[in-house]
Structure 1
Amino acid sequence: MKPLVSVLMPAYNHERYIAQSIESIINQTYKNIEFIIINDGSKDNTWEVIKSLEKKCIGRFVEVKLATQINRGIYDTLNKLVSLSSGKYIYFIASDDIAKPNSIEILCTKLESDYNLVVAVGDSEIIDDNSNQIAWDIAQNPVDLDKGYVTFWQYFVAKHPRLRAIDKNLDFFGAYRTLLKGNYIPNGALIRSDALKNIDRFTNKAPLEDWYMHLQLSKMGKYKFIDEVLFSYRWHSYNTIKNKKLNRIKVIKTKRYEFYQRIKFIIKNYIFLKK
Structure 2
Amino acid sequence: MATEKIVNPLISVIIPVYNGEKHLKQAIESVLNQGHDFIEIIVINDGSFDKSYEIINSFKGKIRAYSQVNSGVASSRNLGISKAKGLFITFLDQDDYYPLGRFNNFLKTYRKSKELIFIGHTQYIFEDEKAKLRWPNLPKDNITFVKLLGASIFHKTVFTDYGLFIPELQSGDDIEWFYRLNQSGEEINKSEDVVLFYRQHSSNVSADKKQVDKYLLSSLKYILDAKKNIPNNKN
Match of 2:181 among 201, 217, 220: 217
- Percent of aligned pairs with the same residue? 23
Asked if 2 retains the 8 angstrom alpha-carbon contact of 1:7 and 1:91, the reply is: yes
Q: Which runs of 4+ in 1 moved over 3 A?
A: 134-137, 204-207
Q: Shift of the alpha carbon at 1:224?
A: 2.1
Q: Which one-letter code corresponds to 2:179 in the other structure? A: L
In the alignment, structure 1 residue 202 sits paired with structure 2 residue 173: no
Secondary structure at the counterpart of residue 188 of structure 2: strand
d(CA) in 1 for partners of 2:131 and 2:103?
24
Q: Shift of the alpha carbon at 1:29?
A: 4.3
Asked if 1 retains the 8 angstrom alpha-carbon contact of 2:126 and 2:132, the reply is: no
More helix by share: 1
Unaligned runs of 5+ in 2: 1-6
Q: Shift of the alpha carbon at 1:68?
A: 2.0
The answer for the alignment partner of 1:260 in structure 2 is 225
Q: 1:113 to 1:196 in 2, by over 3 A?
A: farther
Asked if 2 retains the 8 angstrom alpha-carbon contact of 1:127 and 1:233, the reply is: yes
* CA root-mean-square deviation: 2.8
The answer for the alignment partner of 1:23 in structure 2 is 29
Asked if 1 retains the 8 angstrom alpha-carbon contact of 2:43 and 2:64, the reply is: yes
Q: Which one-letter code corresponds to 1:245 in the other structure? A: K
- Structure with higher Rg: it is 1
Asked if 1 retains the 8 angstrom alpha-carbon contact of 2:96 and 2:198, the reply is: yes
Match of 1:140 among 131, 135, 144: 135
In the alignment, structure 1 residue 248 sits paired with structure 2 residue 210: no
Unaligned runs of 5+ in 1: 58-63, 154-183
Secondary structure at the counterpart of residue 50 of structure 2: coil
Match of 1:36 among 17, 39, 42: 42
Secondary structure at the counterpart of residue 37 of structure 2: coil
Moved more, 192-201 or 232-241: 192-201
TM-score (norm 1): 0.73
The count of residues paired between Structure 1 and Structure 2 equals 226
Asked if 1 retains the 8 angstrom alpha-carbon contact of 2:122 and 2:198, the reply is: yes
The answer for the alignment partner of 1:168 in structure 2 is none
d(CA) in 2 for partners of 1:192 and 1:216?
16
d(CA) in 2 for partners of 1:215 and 1:108?
26
Match of 2:10 among 4, 8, 13: 4
